[in-house]
Amino acid sequence: MFLSSSETLEGVPFSRSRITLVRLMLPTDVNFAGNVFGGSLLKVLDEIAYVVGSRHARQNMVTASVDRMDFLAPVHLSDVVHFTGQVTHVGHTSLEVSIHIEAEDLHGTSRRTVGNAYVTMVAIGPDGRPVPVPPILAETPEERRLLEEGRRRAEERKARRPTGGGSP
């Protein structure tokens, strides 16, 4: 779907940013017991958040935070992993991407949820500073509900964010 500049200014439809990336788990992704490293999944998580965020904002994006990531079930060598991402909140210069991760065996006979996460991406202008992102437009009651949940998570995230830097 092509969006003109004026459509981007008015807002981007909720459904536009939904994307699934599929990855085959290779020998380089696993430990000696054949279990996939958490980091292999986190790398793709970051990748899909970047693609989803960039498609919405049409700006360079950086990862500001990844909310708690629980690995709910093991993933093995030769599993096929599906990462589905969707923008679920838009702030002023940041947006939230909700990511659902499922794994299935190579032949697709069984599929299970292996993780969920929320990634906050910030749009960055040519001077390296945050720039505004276009609003998101809900078209159905379900989309409105998901955006309301995203707004609440964004508020909670902001409330618990550390205010300063410093050494660990």
Residues of the shown chain interacting with ligand COA in the complex, contacts defined by CB under 6 A: 62-65, 91-94, 120, 122, 130, 157-158, 161
Give the nearer residue to ligand COA in terms of CB position, either 51 or 77: 51
Nearer to ligand COA, 18 or 92 (CB): 92
- Minimum distance from CB of 157 to ligand COA (Å)? 6
**Whole-number minimum distance, CB 75 to ligand COA, in Å?**
23
Of residues 13, 8, 7, 11, the one with CA closest to residue 58? 8
Residue with smaller CB distance to ligand COA, 42 or 64: 64
Residue with the CB atom nearest ligand COA in the bound state: 91
* Non-local CB neighbours of 119 within 8 Å, separated by 6+ positions: 45, 46, 49, 63, 65, 66, 67, 96, 97, 99
Amino acid at 35: N
Minimum distance between the CB of residue 113 and ligand COA, rounded to whole angstroms? Answer: 24
Q: Which residues contact 88 (CB under 8 A, 6 or more apart)?
A: 96, 97, 98, 118, 146, 147, 149, 150, 153
Q: Closer to ligand COA at the Cβ: 38 or 74?
A: 38
CB of 83 to ligand COA, least distance (A): 18
